[in-house]
């Protein structure tokens, strides 16, 4: 077990290292390189050189990379080029906002999807199952941001029941009731998207278990049907479900670039798009690395959860199980 | 033996006498002319593809999906002849015309551009992105997966770490980053989207190869001196054809969704070109004035992707004889993972 943990940890470090190199390399591969984009326009050649020197842009790339990495590891995410603000100051609040939005949607969709999917597996191809199927197919084929725009048109503009966008009304910043009102529309959009997958996933996981021999044995020896399903079936069906929940943990932070843009939600996804259009590369790098770290941590947790709920799995022997 | 592969099964069926099928009449006359035996004849089995097509035809969703898809492709391909207006032609005098005004079937947008014409031309862009991305990413994925699965060892280790890296970066972010750096061009977009969606195919092909490369027929092929390329292409890849095709169809839908998302964010197709995603971002700006504008492009995306997915499911059901929930669960999880990276 310890050996496995250490190996996984080292693997993760290598992956992280590669990601940081790729991101850094991509940014410096930009036509003209950051030198041209970051320097103020209209400078004389001399002044431009001086500014490049001040920003450290005239040093060789590997050195720049090491300096950036060193700073990053100490929590210094760098500065924006436009107003010279610390990146951390811009980034961390948006992480929180994204987590509020994604966390609500994610938990809501899990709470609906898992019981529903399990119910559907016991009545496969019944009307409830067909409804779930319909929702899944439509949810999968529909651009989420389009659904968001339609909801805005209907509930915010036409009926005027809910706020159109943003996280708080201007004069009500920090009020929880106002936040809830603003959450309704984006959460509905995201929940539908997540629901589409989870319902089907829960259903098929459960169906798979219900076909096993031990279920037949339980039925044959006269165990009550409800007990067969909830005690013999459900406990085993939860294993893959828990695994996928672990694997999806990172969506808490890396998700909703599109939904955030539709609803003008001040989260990390919107920040990323905004900064990409403004070419604020230090912010982009920070976001990419931070989300990548969280994705890797999520995968790691998924593996551990997997071993925890399924006694058949022995992490050390099987190698990278769920990842 | 449940590890019998498609090929082997086909082979076994071919030598087994007395095989019968639904198209008995046609098969009899064919083999009779060739073999000339009297009495009951061993008929050629219909084979994987024939059976598949028959099964596909009996699936109403798949047939409907295919029909809709062909209709959309035809409309997009003939956009030049069907569209009443140049999609980029600005006509401020007739801006914001409601549907049915004059020659404007669906009205005009805030610059007086004909919405119906724009939808048709957008279809061209979206569909070609969809198919091109699916094609390129299947190519990349197959190449990486074959090399990784066939040679194994350190090559496999390196390539799989690459897959890990790609899977750990949020893909929508990566797309945005690359397009922001290199600029949005039609060809870039296809490459960028393909470059970020080949990992599924690579894993699939690698898995199949790992399973099959120890099979005796591969050993036999190697013994009689078939080259590595020959074994990979003829003996291993052919057994992965069906799952690759199924994944590819699903990828078409995914790419169309991704394209619309990027164009919506302003990082994809740029004006004066047009795509459904771009039309949506435009519609959102003017939704107070003209709420209907957002409806059409979104409906087009929904219908096309739905159709592609139905066709993909139909192909899977028709060609993949395994009807296990495992396979189905894996597919749903792959799709939803993809979808979650594009919310």
For residue A101, what is the domain's CATH number? 1.10.3720.10
Tell me, yes or no, whether A63 lies in a domain: no
Estimate to the nearest angstrom the gap between the alpha carbon of B70 and the chain centroid: 14
Contact criterion met (CB below 8 Å) for B181 and B240: no
In chain B, the residue whose alpha carbon lies closest to the alpha carbon of A19 is B165
Please count the other Cβ atoms lying within 10 Å of the Cβ belonging to residue A18. Answer: 18
Q: Which member of B176, B260, B340 has the closest CB to residue A248?
A: B340
Tell me, yes or no, whether B5 lies in a domain: no
Residues 6+ apart with CB under 8 A from B322: none
A residues 248-267 lying closer than 8 A (beta carbon) to B:
248, 250-251, 254-259, 261-262
pLDDT digits (tens, 9 = 90+) for A217-240: 988 998 888 888 888 888 888 888
Whole-number Å distance between alpha carbons of A8 and A303: 10
Specify the pLDDT at position B10: 43
Q: Which segments of A59-212 does DSSP mark as H helices, in order?
A: 61-73, 87-122, 127-141, 144-151, 176-210
Tell me, yes or no, whether B47 lies in a domain: no
A residues 135-174 lying closer than 8 A (beta carbon) to B:
136-147, 149-150, 152-153, 157-158
Tell me, yes or no, whether A299 lies in a domain: yes
Q: What percent of chain B has pLDDT over 90?
A: 18
Query: Quick one: DSSP state of residue B93?
Result: G
Whole-number Å distance between alpha carbons of B284 and A153: 9
Q: CB distance from B334 to chain A under 8 Å? A: no
Tell me, yes or no, whether A274 lies in a domain: yes
Return the residue in B69, B163, B170 with the most chain A beta carbons within 10 A, the one to mutate for interface testing.
B170
Tell me, yes or no, whether A25 lies in a domain: no
Q: CB distance from B298 to chain A under 8 Å? A: yes
- Is a pLDDT exceeding 70 seen at residue B328? no
In angstroms, what CA-CA distances link B162 with A322, B28, B141, B199?
17, 53, 12, 9
Contact criterion met (CB below 8 Å) for A258 and B342: yes
Tell me, yes or no, whether A118 lies in a domain: yes
Whole-number Å distance between alpha carbons of A126 and B84: 47
What number of residues does chain B have? 343
Q: What is the CATH number of the domain that holds B288?
A: 1.10.3720.10
Q: Do B253 and A295 touch (CB under 8 A)?
A: no
B272 prior amide bond cis, ω within 30: yes
pLDDT digits (tens, 9 = 90+) for B139-162: 999 999 999 998 888 999 889 888
Measured in angstroms, the CA of A54 and the nearest CA of chain B are apart by 23
pLDDT digits (tens, 9 = 90+) for A255-285: 688 889 889 988 888 898 888 888 788 888 8
Tell me the chain A residues in contact with residue B261 when contact means C-beta distances shorter than 8 Å. 143, 145, 258
Q: CB distance from A200 to chain B under 8 Å? A: yes
Q: Do A257 and B288 touch (CB under 8 A)?
A: no
Q: Which domain holds residue B179?
A: 60-320
- Structural domains counted in chain A: 1
Tell me, yes or no, whether A238 lies in a domain: yes
Tell me the chain A residues in contact with residue B335 when contact means C-beta distances shorter than 8 Å. 140, 197
Tell me, yes or no, whether B8 lies in a domain: no
Q: Do A145 and B264 touch (CB under 8 A)?
A: yes
Whole-number Å distance between alpha carbons of A33 and A318: 45
- Predicted complex ipTM: 0.82
Return the residue in A98, A110, A140 with the most chain B beta carbons within 10 A, the one to mutate for interface testing.
A140
Residue located via tokens 């897959």: B163
Whole-number Å distance between alpha carbons of A305 and A246: 7
Q: Which member of B161, B298, B324 has the closest CB to residue A146?
A: B298
Q: In terms of Cα–Cα distance, which of B164, B168, B72 is closest to B120?
A: B72
- Structural domains counted in chain B: 1
Instruction: Please spell the DSSP secondary structure of B189-212, one letter per residue.
Output: HHHHHHHTS-HHHHHHHHHHHHHH
Specify the pLDDT at position B301: 93
Instruction: Please spell the DSSP secondary structure of A129-147, one letter per residue.
Output: HHHHHHHHHHHHHS-HHHH
Residue located via tokens 């009899």: B28
| Confidence band, pLDDT 50/70/90 cuts, at residue A320 | very low
Q: Which domain holds residue A272?
A: 87-154+186-309
Q: Which member of A29, A261, A284 has the closest CB to residue B265?
A: A261
- Is a pLDDT exceeding 80 seen at residue B11? no
Specify the pLDDT at position B13: 41
Residues 6+ apart with CB under 8 A from B189: B129, B179, B259, B262, B268, B269
Specify the pLDDT at position B12: 42
Instruction: Please spell the DSSP secondary structure of A54-73, one letter per residue.
Output: HTTTTS-HHHHHHHHHHHHH
Tell me, yes or no, whether A139 lies in a domain: yes
pLDDT digits (tens, 9 = 90+) for A131-190: 998 988 888 888 888 898 889 888 888 888 888 777 777 777 777 778 888 888 999 999
Q: CB distance from B174 to chain A under 8 Å? A: yes
Tell me the chain B residues in contact with residue A250 when contact means C-beta distances shorter than 8 Å. 170
Phi and psi for B131 in degrees, rounded to 5?
Answer: -70, -40
Q: Which member of B253, B280, B287 has the closest CB to residue A157?
A: B287
Q: Do B181 and A26 touch (CB under 8 A)?
A: yes
- Is a pLDDT exceeding 90 seen at residue B52? no
Residue located via tokens 């990495």: A69
3-state DSSP assignment of residue B36: coil
Measured in angstroms, the CA of A27 and the nearest CA of chain B are apart by 7
Q: Which member of B177, B257, B324 has the closest CB to residue A26?
A: B177
Q: Which helix (H) or strand (E) holds B339?
A: helix B325-340
3-state DSSP assignment of residue A211: coil
Tell me, yes or no, whether B18 lies in a domain: no
Q: CB distance from A207 to chain B under 8 Å? A: yes
Range with lowest mean pLDDT among A129-138, A280-289, A304-313: A304-313
- Is a pLDDT exceeding 90 seen at residue B63? yes
Global pTM?
A: 0.82
Tell me, yes or no, whether A164 lies in a domain: no
């Amino acid at each position: 077990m310890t050996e496995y943990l250490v190996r996984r940890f080292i693997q993760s470090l290598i992956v992280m290292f590669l990601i940081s190199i790729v991101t850094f390399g991509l940014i410096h591969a930009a036509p003209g390189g950051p030198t041209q984009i970051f320097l103020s326009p209209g400078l004389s050649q001399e002044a431009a050189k001086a500014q490049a020197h001040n920003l450290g842009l005239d040093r060789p790339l590997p050195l720049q990379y090491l300096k950036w990495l060193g700073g990053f590891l100490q929590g210094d995410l760098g500065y924006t080029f436009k107003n010279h603000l610390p990146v951390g100051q811009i980034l961390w609040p948006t992480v929180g906002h994204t987590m509020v939005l994604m966390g609500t949607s994610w938990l809501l969709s899990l709470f609906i999807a898992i019981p529903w999917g399990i119910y559907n597996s016991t009545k496969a191809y019944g009307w409830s199952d067909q409804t779930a199927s319909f929702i899944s197919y439509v949810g999968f084929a529909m651009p989420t941001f389009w659904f968001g725009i339609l909801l805005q048109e209907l509930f915010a503009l036409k009926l005027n029941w809910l706020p159109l966008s943003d996280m708080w009304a201007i004069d009500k910043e920090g009020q929880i009731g106002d936040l809830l009102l603003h959450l309704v529309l984006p959460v509905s959009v995201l929940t539908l998207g997540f629901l589409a997958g989870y319902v089907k996933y829960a259903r098929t996981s459960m169906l798979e278990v219900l076909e096993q021999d031990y279920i037949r044995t339980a039925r044959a020896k006269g165990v009550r049907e409800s007990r067969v399903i909830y005690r013999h079936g459900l406990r085993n069906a939860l294993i893959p479900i828990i695994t996928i929940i672990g694997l999806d943990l990172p969506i808490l932070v890396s998700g909703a670039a599109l939904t955030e843009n539709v609803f003008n939600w001040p989260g990390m996804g919107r920040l990323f798009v905004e900064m990409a259009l403004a070419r604020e590369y230090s912010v982009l790098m920070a976001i990419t690395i931070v989300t990548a770290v969280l994705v890797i941590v999520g995968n790691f947790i998924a593996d551990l959860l997997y071993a925890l709920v399924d006694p058949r799995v022995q992490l050390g022997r099987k190698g990278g199980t769920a990842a | 033996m449940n590890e019998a592969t498609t090929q082997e099964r086909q082979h076994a069926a071919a030598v087994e006498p007395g095989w019968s099928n639904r198209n008995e009449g046609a098969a009899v006359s064919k083999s009779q002319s060739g073999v000339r035996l009297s009495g009951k004849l061993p008929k050629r089995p219909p084979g994987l593809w024939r059976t598949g097509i028959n099964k596909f035809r009996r699936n109403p969703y798949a047939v409907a999906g295919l029909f809709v898809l062909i209709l959309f492709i035809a409309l997009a391909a003939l956009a030049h002849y069907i569209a009443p207006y140049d999609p980029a032609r600005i006509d401020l005098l007739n801006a914001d015309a409601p549907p049915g005004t004059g020659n404007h079937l669906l009205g005009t947008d805030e610059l007086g551009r004909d919405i119906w014409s724009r939808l048709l031309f957008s279809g061209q862009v979206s569909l070609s992105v969809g198919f091109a991305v699916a094609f390129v990413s299947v190519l990349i994925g197959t190449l990486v997966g074959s090399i990784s699965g066939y040679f194994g060892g350190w090559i496999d280790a390196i390539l799989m770490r690459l897959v890990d890296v790609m899977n750990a970066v949020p893909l929508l972010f990566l797309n945005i980053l690359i397009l922001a750096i290199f600029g949005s061009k039609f060809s870039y977009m296809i490459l960028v989207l393909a470059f970020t969606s080949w990992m599924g195919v690579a894993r699939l092909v690698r898995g199949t190869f790992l399973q099959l490369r120890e099979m005796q027929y591969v050993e036999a092929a190697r013994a009689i001196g078939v080259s590595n390329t020959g074994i990979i292409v003829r003996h291993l890849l052919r057994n992965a054809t069906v799952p690759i095709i199924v994944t590819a169809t699903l990828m078409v839908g995914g790419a169309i969704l991704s394209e619309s998302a990027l164009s919506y964010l302003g990082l994809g197709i740029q004006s004066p070109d047009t795509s459904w995603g771009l039309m949506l971002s435009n519609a959102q700006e003017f939704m107070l004035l003209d709420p209907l504008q957002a409806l059409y492009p979104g409906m087009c995306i929904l219908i096309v992707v739905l159709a592609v997915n139905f066709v993909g499911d139909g192909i899977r059901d028709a060609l993949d004889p395994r009807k296990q929930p495992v396979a189905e669960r894996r597919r749903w999880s792959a799709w939803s993972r993809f979808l979650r990276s594009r919310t």
